[in-house]
Structure 1
Amino acid sequence: MAYELSGKIKLIQDPQTFESGFTKREMVVTVEDGKYPQEIALEFVQDKIALLDALQPGQEVKVSFDLRGREYKGRYFNNLQGWRVDVLSGDGDGGNSGETHYPEPSDFDDGDIPF
């Protein structure tokens, strides 16, 4: 199941590698939800942890994620597993947004048009 959320990065944890070779990294995003903002923890695994390398707390992001659930010893757990991050704005480098920006017609003057 694919979902999206938008908010401000509060925290990016260091990667964790387990004996099995499994690697994960978590990020917390604060989502404005009326009177009570929500702090949502998202998990990035294996090759997707690299998506967090260029990000910094304070940046506004849109995160695409899947909802995962499993049972372990009679208990049930849910994870939000991120697979894409688009920077919307913030204190980061600004040039690494993951979004494609196309020029607007107003970006050109008559000297830029080849015909």
Structure 2
Amino acid sequence: MELQGTIKLIDETKTYGNNGFRKREMVITTEEQYPQHILIEFIQDKCDLLNNYKVGEPVKISINIRGREWTNPQGEVKYFNSIQGWRIEKLQESGTEENMPPVPPIEAFEPADELNEEDHDDLPF
């Protein structure tokens, strides 16, 4: 699955336990009628994928949804979900000049010197 949005937060990498389990969280804000703030976690070697990104950048993230079952000391079963990112790529910001096709400079066109208004053309107007 993939999610798209603008980076709202990138947290520091945190290490847990004796085995050195690494986790880094980020939040993106989706661009829809009701924007959502989605927490995505990157684990182990995927933490480093976030090093070249900053708040405010539009991104597309490939994700996996994970679910866990846990029984508390009172015997009640609880379920937890998490969203794990495994790839991230930058998107171009909408509305920027980067999205527009290049336009040649006006000097690239020669002026029409021999124009006869009475010549027939095939234009519908």
Q: TM-score, normalised by structure 1?
A: 0.73
- The residue aligned with 1:49 is 47
What CA deviation, in whole Å up to 9, does each residue of 1:35-93 have, x standing for no partner?
x2100000000000000001000000000000100011221100100000010136xxx
Structure 1 residue 83 corresponds to structure 2 residue 80 = no
1:19 is displaced (CA, Å) by 1.6
The letter for the 2-side match of 1:89 is Q
Q: Size of the alignment, in residue pairs?
A: 87
- The residue aligned with 2:30 is 31
Deviates more, 1:51-60 or 1:13-22: 13-22
Structure 2: stretches of 5+ with no match in the other structure = 72-76, 94-125
Q: Distance in 2 between matches of 1:25 and 1:88?
A: 21
Q: Distance in 2 between matches of 1:52 and 1:64?
A: 13
- Which protein shows a greater Rg? 2
- The residue aligned with 2:98 is none
Structure 1 residue 65 corresponds to structure 2 residue 68 = no
Runs of 4 or more off by more than 4 Å in structure 1? none
Identity of paired residues, percent? 51
Residue 10 of structure 1: which of 8, 24, 35 is its match?
Answer: 8
1:33 is displaced (CA, Å) by 2.3
Q: Distance in 2 between matches of 1:7 and 1:89?
A: 11
Structure 1: stretches of 5+ with no match in the other structure = 91-115
Q: TM-score, normalised by structure 2?
A: 0.67
